[in-house]
Amino acid sequence: MRRFFWQDRAGIGQTGIIGGTDARHIRTVLRMKPGDFLVVLDGAGNDFEAQIKTISTDEVRVVPVKRIRHSTDSPVNITIAQAMLKGKKMDMLARQITELGITRWIPFFSERSIPVPAKEKLPARRERWRSIVMESLKQCQRSRMTAVGEIVSLDQVLEIGSVDDVNLIFWEEETRTLHEVLDPLPDKCEKIFAVLGPEGGFSEAEIKNAESLGYKSVSLGPRVLKAETATISVCTLMQYLFGDMGGMF
């Protein structure tokens, strides 16, 4: 069943509104009619099967008929802090980390970050990524939206993550493996905070600063991965080790 975000939320039997591009898509592309059923979601874990009541130019009015219980969101809270990457790589990551069930994504600038857009352009970048996350959320059947944090500095990121259960910073010059770093930790960790660098990696000074704040520097193995490949690998590993992918094997 098709899934859409709604603006004016409502309880069972009450009228809610789907607007914007979703409303136009329902009317002009899908050509749905009053009486048809769809799924409405708010990105906070509340999904409902709803019936269309009226369709106008810029809004679709629906009435929820029953709540849908989902179990597709990860049981572990994973934050990925990602240094800004070149081109459209951040757009791609916004989509893929949502598919992989990441709870929060924080873009940041580090010493070797190359794309440094003007400060006034940063809010627009963030809104673009939020839009990509919303579309990906509908496609991958999740109920809770990946939160997209404000674009900050590495120092700010390290402070944000310092309260989580596991704090990792991935560095291509590190020799300690993920197994060596995680082996002393409890099997069940509820909050994971992983920091990944730009195409040029982190400087030694940045790593030392992170370690002084309790972060564990870790390697992803002997091969040199592209920055975006490293991020997807980390997301998958964290879900396998602490989340709900491990039960598949």
Is 233:97 a contact under the CB 8 Å cutoff? no
What is the residue extent of each domain of the chain? 3-68, 77-248
Given a cut of 60, whether residue 247 has pLDDT beyond it is: no
- Of the pLDDT bands very low, low, confident and very high (cuts 50, 70, 90), residue 162 is confident
Other C-beta atoms within 10 Å of 137: how many?
A: 21
Angle at 83 between CA 80 and CA 85, to 5 degrees: 115
Does pLDDT of 45 surpass 70? yes
- Average the pLDDT over 12-32 and give the result: 92
pLDDT grade for 77, boundaries at 50, 70 and 90: very high
Residues 55 and 34: beta-carbon distance below 8 Å: yes
Fold observed for domain 77-248 = Alpha/beta knot (3.40.1280)
CB 137, CB 146: distance < 8 Å:
yes
Q: What is the average pLDDT score of the chain?
A: 91
| Predicted local confidence at residue 249, as pLDDT | 44
130, pLDDT greater than 60 = yes
Residues 53-62 pLDDT 10s: 999 989 999 9
Give the model's pLDDT for residue 214.
93
Give domain 3-68's CATH architecture: Beta Barrel (2.40)
Residue 248 pLDDT > 50: no
32 or 116, greater pLDDT = 32
